[in-house]
Amino acid sequence: MKTSELIYSQGKSIFSYPFKVIFRDTQVGDEVLIISVPKKIFKRAVKRNLIRRRIREAFRLNCRELPNIKGKDILLVYVSSHILDYGKITETLTAAISKVGADS
């Protein structure tokens, strides 16, 4: 099975607009971050890639400040139909990942 399929089938789900966060526990050192922007919402690959880049950069810059997410596989699904600016994505991503750390 693919990692994304394992996360979907065995993971817990949290909704924090504009993200649906699905996560599961794994071994330390094997953490995975998967970012999904549905083609159904954004038809153009340029827009999907823009959102993916913003999310990846926000995560990269804030991963040290985020609560304990070590040992977790995380799947982020972007569910908004609007392209949010980088500041808003950073703010909401931090809140969503905080819920993941608090839920464990």
Residue 88, pLDDT score? 96
Residue 21 CA from chain centroid, whole number: 6
Residue 67, pLDDT score? 67
| pLDDT tens for the chain, residues 1 to 104 | 788 888 989 999 999 999 999 999 887 677 889 999 999 999 999 999 999 999 999 999 988 887 678 888 999 999 999 999 999 999 999 999 888 877 76
Strand ranges (E), 2-95? 12-16, 19-25, 33-36, 72-78
The domains of the chain, with CATH numbers, are 3-103 (3.30.230.10)
Strand ranges (E), 1-104? 12-16, 19-25, 33-36, 72-78
Residue 12, pLDDT score? 93
